[in-house]
């Protein structure tokens, strides 16, 4: 089958799956049981994964027909409107291939996992329908060859996310969280839409490759300055990838079922923003001020999220803030010009964060829907597979070699340092320490130490079904080996080679000088790597000691210290626990103050605008009423009118025409 | 001072001013009286004022042709005849309405009002 | 003995004296017509007004019209009016209001009309005339029955229609009580 057809099938099959499940799922589930409703969507996603793998291999290696520029597949003209012509077309190059790997693999594993996780839910068919819809939207977003189609996929992803977060819609908190996610996304989408319009204004075309080339060629003769365009596009990325200040929706999004958190909020949807900036890399490279902004926001988000993760007690919340933090790393990488490193971290993070989320789902499932870590502990003997895979994920995220996280994180930090962004590097190292710390805190509280599980639940704690543990094991494999497979040698691994045609234009524009070869007498790379490893180990030791295997006395001391802290420490603790009070700030600004403004505008509309319109009506009516008084029905009154008219006419005639001779 | 009135009867202005005054009085009566027959009497006054104006124009018109004055008289005669006809019909109407409404006061004749 | 041209004390001629007399009577009678409460008196004042007007017509040199005025207006129309007054009398007449509510605007309007006409007339430069023409009956007859035959015939039809109409309108309905 020619590649054109295969590529077109990739988004097409999930559309069919969604339609089929939406139309027939309910009846199938009622009559024939869950499995009947699940076969089609899960089967389709597996098929998509197979097709994607077939397409990805030649695409990454620049074989025909992909070459170095990628393959363009044109389906049909969507909007033929004179000067604006938008095609429904797809573009597949190495970058697309990387995203395809992540999206389809994790998507498939999440689908399989959900069979087990949602086995007791009564609306399983709806869940799978939405999951398929999500796959469609993400695939369209990644495969699109023009900005408008990307935007369409972008919005669809927001919609699917809304449906999935609020899947248990009878729960008020879930409905509110879904609404919050959608609205905050929309704020970013406004920026993105404006960015697309600016691109069209500058170049007259919406095709991604063509417009990027034109934008760079036109340089400063663009109608809308490139910095503005880049910042607008980044605004969209901020919304979707939950960067500060549009990050507030991600923690609340944990209201959705855990497979949703794994798929959308760890591995795919939040990566859309990173993909967008990476895809637009020539644009950003030509607007270096925007890149600094990206880096700053990214690393700040990483830092802020890490501080908040210190004090959270809900296992999924910790992972959510961890996602925020790692996304910040990715944007920091994009901002300093380390595009391949960002994509590398995107892929490895997708795998190990997906693994961690699915693991947490397994843990929650085994302690019967308990999510508070303070009521877990000592679980490592009872749920061994979950524990082992989660351990793998934690080592990966903490950045301990030779697992995937170490390679990708270190490449980011190394590039930051070498490109002169020492402040990014410094903060990044601190965040690495914090990451290791809070992840080991999570492990310690959940699995180690003595059991604080509710005594009624404790005897029923058991390992999850094979549909849930199989994906865990399958995800652990790339978490271990991905880094070694495509990350070596550091800075010039397979992935870098595969992605170089995508980013070479940007690299040319940036034209960074070669970094210093030695630092403090040793090769630069060795120094940087050592610092990263030491940071990770430091966090590990402290975290495990305080929360895992440390003596009870030490733990008690810590708890005492925290609860009796006052002054600055207490403030910092509360700052972290309350998520830096951003939700309260948003509430004040937009709900309270915005509410006042809206109320005033409503008053204005009611009283003044409606009043004017109604007032005209009243005025006409009253005038009519008044004029009606003239009709008395009496001839003498009319005769008086005639006489007055006569006088007026005669008088004006005499006055105007002039005195008679 | 009274000698200023000399030859006033030879002055067209005087006749016309008189006619105007009579017309104004007739108008006032027509607009201000409540009785329908008073209104009709005022109309007669107005018609007479007009007659006076015609006659005086005829009296002071162009000299050469004797028929000019006669023309004014003709008009005046026709006006008198029309006034007679109009008074007849008008008074008949008032009597007919009086039979219906039992009053000659025009205040009551407002069936056409809103 | 011939009469002097101007009356010794007053300074104007005999014609002028007559003119002024008739004019004063006419205006006074007209005012009485519109201002009198008692409508019979108003009718009487109207008769006097018509008589004064006849005098003015004579001074203006149209004795035929003067005669017709007396015959038709005083002899027929005024009688008709008096009959109508008698047929529409109400008991409450002496106590009822004489004037309408709109009397003030009416008065203003009348005064303005009078002023308009008066001022216009006085300001106009009328062509001067030497002596009053006397419209002889012969000339009047010729004009009326040759040049204006059609209007004459139409007026007779009009009078016929008026008579018929008047009779019909004022007739009592069949079976209606007195």
pLDDT in tens, B72-105: 889 999 999 999 999 999 999 999 989 888 888 8
The chain A residues in contact with chain B (CB within 8 A) are 628, 631-636, 639-640, 643
* B102: enclosing H helix or E strand: none
Q: Which residues does chain A have within 8 Å of residue C123's beta carbon, measured at their own beta carbons? A: 659-660
pTM for the model: 0.69
Q: Is 70 exceeded by the pLDDT of residue B66? A: no
Q: Which residues does chain A have within 8 Å of residue C120's beta carbon, measured at their own beta carbons? A: 654, 660
Is C113's CB within 8 Å of A647's CB?
yes
Q: Residue B92 maps to which CATH number?
A: 1.10.287.3510
Among A630, A633, A646, the strongest candidate for a mutation testing the B interface, having the largest count of B CBs within 10 A, is A633
Is A661's CB within 8 Å of C112's CB?
no
Cis peptide leading into residue C146 (ω within 30°): no
How many whole angstroms separate alpha carbon B12 and alpha carbon A438? 122
Min mean pLDDT across A92-96, A104-108, A401-405 is at: A401-405
Closest A-chain CA to B29: A636
Closest B-chain CA to A636: B31
pLDDT band at A134 (very low <50, low <70, confident <90, very high): very high
Closest C-chain CA to B27: C110
Question: Tell me: the pLDDT tens digits for A601-621?
Answer: 999 888 888 888 899 999 999
Structural domains counted in chain B: 1
Q: Is 60 exceeded by the pLDDT of residue A660? A: no
Q: Which residues does chain A have within 8 Å of residue C112's beta carbon, measured at their own beta carbons? A: 647, 651
Q: Is 90 exceeded by the pLDDT of residue A219? A: no
Total CB pairs under 8 A between chain B and C: 295
Q: Which residues does chain C have within 8 Å of residue B3's beta carbon, measured at their own beta carbons? A: 6, 10-12
Q: Which residues does chain C have within 8 Å of residue A651's beta carbon, measured at their own beta carbons? A: 112, 116
- Inter-helix orientation angle A422-447/A384-398, to 10°: 170
Q: Which residues does chain A have within 8 Å of residue B106's beta carbon, measured at their own beta carbons? A: 634-636
Please name the residue ranges forming H helices in A448-592. Answer: 466-487, 494-510, 524-544, 552-564, 568-577, 582-586
Closest A-chain CA to C103: A640
Q: Which residues does chain A have within 8 Å of residue C125's beta carbon, measured at their own beta carbons? A: 661
Is C140's CB within 8 Å of B88's CB?
no
pLDDT band at A226 (very low <50, low <70, confident <90, very high): confident
How many whole angstroms separate alpha carbon A479 and alpha carbon A403? 6
Which residue from A98, A147, A13 is spatially nearest to A343, judged by alpha carbons? A98
Q: Is 90 exceeded by the pLDDT of residue B45? A: yes
Among A629, A638, A643, the strongest candidate for a mutation testing the C interface, having the largest count of C CBs within 10 A, is A643
Question: Tell me: the pLDDT tens digits for A69-99?
Answer: 778 888 788 888 877 778 888 888 888 888 9
Of A631, A636, A639, the CB nearest to B113: A631
The answer as to whether B2 is a domain residue is no
Question: Tell me: the pLDDT tens digits for A558-615?
Answer: 666 666 666 667 777 777 777 788 778 877 888 888 888 999 999 988 888 888 889 9
pLDDT band at A211 (very low <50, low <70, confident <90, very high): confident
The chain C residues in contact with chain A (CB within 8 A) are 100, 102, 105-106, 109, 112-113, 116, 120, 123-125
B neighbour chains, 3+ CB pairs within 8 Å: A, C
Which segments of chain C have a pLDDT < 50? Answer: 178
The answer as to whether B113 is a domain residue is no
The answer as to whether B49 is a domain residue is yes
Q: Which residues does chain B have within 8 Å of residue C127's beta carbon, measured at their own beta carbons? A: 60, 62
Of C102, C123, C125, the CB nearest to A637: C102
Q: Which residues does chain A have within 8 Å of residue B93's beta carbon, measured at their own beta carbons? A: none
pLDDT band at A160 (very low <50, low <70, confident <90, very high): very high
Per-range mean pLDDT, top range of A87-96, A310-319, A637-646: A637-646
Q: How far apart are the first and last CA of chain A?
A: 108
What distance in Å separates residue A612's CA from the closest CA in chain B?
29
Is B30's CB within 8 Å of A628's CB?
no
CA distances from A420 to A243, A414, A514 (A): 23, 10, 11
C neighbour chains, 3+ CB pairs within 8 Å: A, B
Is C132's CB within 8 Å of B23's CB?
no
pLDDT band at A312 (very low <50, low <70, confident <90, very high): confident
Q: Is 70 exceeded by the pLDDT of residue A55? A: yes
Is A646's CB within 8 Å of C105's CB?
no
Q: Is 80 exceeded by the pLDDT of residue A246? A: yes
Is A644's CB within 8 Å of C109's CB?
yes
Task: Please tell me the predicted confidence (pLDDT) of residue A643.
Answer: 94
Min mean pLDDT across A278-287, A386-395, A501-510 is at: A501-510
CA distances from B113 to A559, A631, A633, B30, B108 (A): 95, 6, 4, 20, 11
For residue A51, list its beta bridge partners. none
What distance in Å separates residue C3's CA from the closest CA in chain B?
16
| Cβ pair C87, C54 in contact under 8 A | no
Supply the DSSP symbol for A463: P
Q: Is 80 exceeded by the pLDDT of residue A487? A: no
Q: Which residues does chain C have within 8 Å of residue B50's beta carbon, measured at their own beta carbons? A: none
Work out the average pLDDT over A14-36.
Answer: 86
The answer as to whether B27 is a domain residue is yes
Supply the DSSP symbol for A378: -
How many whole angstroms separate alpha carbon A203 and alpha carbon A213? 9
Q: Which residues does chain A have within 8 Å of residue B31's beta carbon, measured at their own beta carbons? A: 636, 639-640, 643
Is C139's CB within 8 Å of B70's CB?
yes
What distance in Å separates residue B102's CA from the closest CA in chain A?
17
| Cβ pair C46, C91 in contact under 8 A | no
pLDDT band at A118 (very low <50, low <70, confident <90, very high): confident
Of A634, A640, A643, the CB nearest to B106: A634
Task: Please tell me the predicted confidence (pLDDT) of residue C32.
Answer: 95
Burial of residue A386 (CB within 10 Å: 0-12, 13-18, 19+) is buried
Among C14, C90, C133, C155, the strongest candidate for a mutation testing the B interface, having the largest count of B CBs within 10 A, is C133
- The answer for residues whose C-beta is within 8 angstroms of residue A464's C-beta and 6 or more apart is A116, A362, A365, A366, A383, A386
* A130: enclosing H helix or E strand: helix A124-143
A neighbour chains, 3+ CB pairs within 8 Å: B, C
Closest A-chain CA to B32: A636
What distance in Å separates residue C125's CA from the closest CA in chain A?
6
Q: Which residues does chain A have within 8 Å of residue B16's beta carbon, measured at their own beta carbons? A: none
How many whole angstroms separate alpha carbon B22 and alpha carbon C31? 9
Task: Please tell me the predicted confidence (pLDDT) of residue A616.
Answer: 92
Closest C-chain CA to B62: C129
Q: Which residues does chain A have within 8 Å of residue B35's beta carbon, measured at their own beta carbons? A: none
| Cβ pair A392, A533 in contact under 8 A | no
Of A633, A639, A643, the CB nearest to B112: A633
Question: Over chain A, what is the mean pLDDT?
Answer: 84
Question: What letters, b where the CB count within 10 A reaches 16 and e where it falls short, cover A183-219?
Answer: ebbebbbebbbbbbebbbebbebbbbbebbebbbeee
Task: Please tell me the predicted confidence (pLDDT) of residue C85.
Answer: 92
Question: Tell me: the pLDDT tens digits for A410-456?
Answer: 888 888 888 878 888 889 989 998 888 888 888 888 887 777 777 77
Residue numbers of the domain that contains B63 = 11-107
């Amino acid at each position: 089958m020619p590649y054109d057809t295969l590529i077109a099938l990739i988004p097409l099959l999930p559309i069919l799956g969604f339609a089929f499940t939406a139309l027939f799922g309910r009846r199938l589930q009622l009559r024939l049981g869950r499995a009947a409703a699940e076969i089609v969507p899960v089967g389709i996603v597996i098929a998509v994964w197979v097709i994607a793998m077939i397409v990805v291999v030649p695409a990454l290696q620049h074989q025909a027909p992909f070459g170095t520029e990628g393959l363009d597949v044109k389906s049909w003209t969507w909007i033929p409107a004179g000067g604006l012509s938008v095609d429904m077309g797809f573009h597949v190059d190495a970058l697309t291939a990387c995203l395809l790997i992540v999206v389809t693999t994790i998507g498939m594993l999440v689908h399989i996992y959900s069979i087990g996780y949602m086995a007791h839910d009564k609306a399983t068919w709806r869940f799978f329908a939405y999951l398929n819809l999500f796959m469609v939207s993400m695939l369209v977003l990644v495969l699109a060859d023009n900005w408008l189609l990307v935007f369409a996929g972008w919005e669809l992803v927001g919609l699917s996310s809304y449906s999935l977060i609020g899947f248990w819609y009878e729960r008020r908190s879930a409905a509110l969280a879904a609404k919050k996610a959608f609205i905050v996304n929309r704020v970013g989408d406004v920026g993105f839409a404006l960015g697309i319009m600016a691109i069209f204004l500058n170049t007259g075309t919406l095709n991604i490759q063509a417009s990027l080339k034109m934008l760079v060629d036109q340089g400063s003769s663009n109608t809308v300055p490139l910095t503005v365009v880049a910042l607008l596009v980044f605004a969209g990325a901020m919304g979707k990838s939950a960067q500060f200040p549009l990050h507030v929706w991600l923690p609340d999004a944990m209201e959705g079922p855990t497979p949703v958190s794994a798929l959308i909020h760890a591995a795919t949807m939040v990566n859309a923003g990173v993909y967008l900036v990476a895809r637009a890399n020539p644009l950003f490279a030509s607007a270096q001020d925007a890149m600094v902004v990206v880096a700053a926001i990214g690393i700040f988000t990483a830092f802020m999220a890490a501080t908040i993760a210190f004090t959270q007690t809900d296992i999924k919340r910790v992972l959510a803030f961890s996602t925020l933090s790692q996304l910040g790393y990715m944007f920091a990488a994009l901002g300093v010009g380390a595009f391949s490193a960002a994509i590398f971290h995107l892929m490895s993070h997708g795998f190990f964060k997906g693994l961690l989320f699915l693991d947490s789902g397994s843990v929650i499932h085994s302690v019967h829907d308990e999510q508070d870590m303070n009521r877990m502990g000592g679980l490592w003997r009872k749920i061994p597979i979950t524990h082992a895979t989660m351990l793998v994920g934690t080592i990966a995220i903490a950045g301990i070699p030779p697992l995937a996280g170490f390679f990708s994180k270190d490449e980011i930090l190394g590039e930051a340092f070498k490109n002169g962004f020492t402040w990014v590097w410094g903060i990044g190292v601190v965040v690495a320490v914090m990451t290791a710390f809070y992840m080991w805190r999570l492990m310690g509280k959940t699995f180690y130490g003595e059991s604080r599980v509710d005594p009624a639940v404790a005897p029923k704690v058991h390992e999850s079904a094979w549909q849930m543990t199989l994906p865990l094991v399958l995800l652990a494999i790339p978490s271990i080996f991905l880094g070694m497979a495509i990350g070596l040698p550091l800075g010039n691994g397979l992935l870098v080679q595969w992605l170089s045609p995508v980013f070479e234009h940007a690299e040319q524009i940036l034209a960074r000088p070669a970094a210093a070869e030695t630092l403090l007498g040793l090769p630069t790379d060795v120094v940087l790597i050592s610092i990263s490893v030491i940071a990770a180990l430091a966090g590990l030791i402290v975290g495990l000691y305080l929360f895992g295997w440390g003596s009870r006395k030490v733990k008690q001391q810590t708890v005492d210290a925290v609860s009796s802290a006052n002054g600055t420490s207490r403030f910092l603790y509360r700052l972290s626990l309350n998520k830096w009070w951003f939700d309260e700030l948003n509430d004040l600004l937009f709900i309270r103050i915005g509410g006042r403004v809206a109320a005033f505008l409503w008053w204005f509309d009611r009283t003044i605008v409606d009043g004017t319109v109604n007032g005209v009506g009243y005025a006409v009516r009253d005038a009519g009423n008044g004029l009606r008084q003239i009709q008395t029905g009496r001839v003498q009154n009319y005769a008086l009118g005639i006489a007055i008219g006569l006088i007026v006419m005669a008088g004006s005639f005499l006055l105007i025409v002039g005195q008679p001779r | 001072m009274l000698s200023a009135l000399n030859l006033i009867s030879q002055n067209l202005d005087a006749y016309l001013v008189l006619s105007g005054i009579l017309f104004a009085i007739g108008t006032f009566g027509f607009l201000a009286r409540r009785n329908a027959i008073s209104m009709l009497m005022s109309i007669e006054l107005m018609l007479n004022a007009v007659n006076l104006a015609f006659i005086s124009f005829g009296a002071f018109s162009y000299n050469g042709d004797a028929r000019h004055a006669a023309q004014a008289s003709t008009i005046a005669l026709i006006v008198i005849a029309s006034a007679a006809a109009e008074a007849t019909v008008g008074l008949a109407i008032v009597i007919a309405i009086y039979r219906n409404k039992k009053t000659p006061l025009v205040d009551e004749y407002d069936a056409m009002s809103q | 003995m011939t009469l002097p041209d101007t009356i010794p004390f007053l300074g104007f001629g005999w014609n002028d004296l007559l003119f002024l007399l008739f004019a004063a009577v006419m205006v006074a009678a007209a005012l009485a017509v519109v201002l009198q409460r008692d409508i019979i008196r108003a009718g009487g004042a109207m008769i006097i007004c018509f008589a004064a007007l006849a005098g003015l017509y004579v001074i203006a040199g149209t004795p035929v019209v003067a005669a017709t005025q007396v015959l038709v207006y005083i002899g027929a129309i005024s009688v008709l009016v008096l009959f109508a007054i008698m047929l529409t009398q109400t008991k409450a007449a002496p106590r009822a209001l004489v004037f309408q509510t709109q009397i003030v605007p009416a008065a203003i309007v009348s005064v303005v009309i009078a002023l308009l006409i008066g001022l216009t007339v006085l300001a106009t430069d009328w062509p001067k005339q030497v002596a009053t023409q006397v419209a002889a009956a012969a000339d009047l007859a010729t004009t009326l029955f040759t040049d204006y035959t059609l209007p004459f015939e139409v007026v007779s039809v009009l009078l016929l229609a008026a008579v018929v109409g008047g009779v019909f309108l004022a007739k009592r309905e069949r079976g209606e009580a007195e």
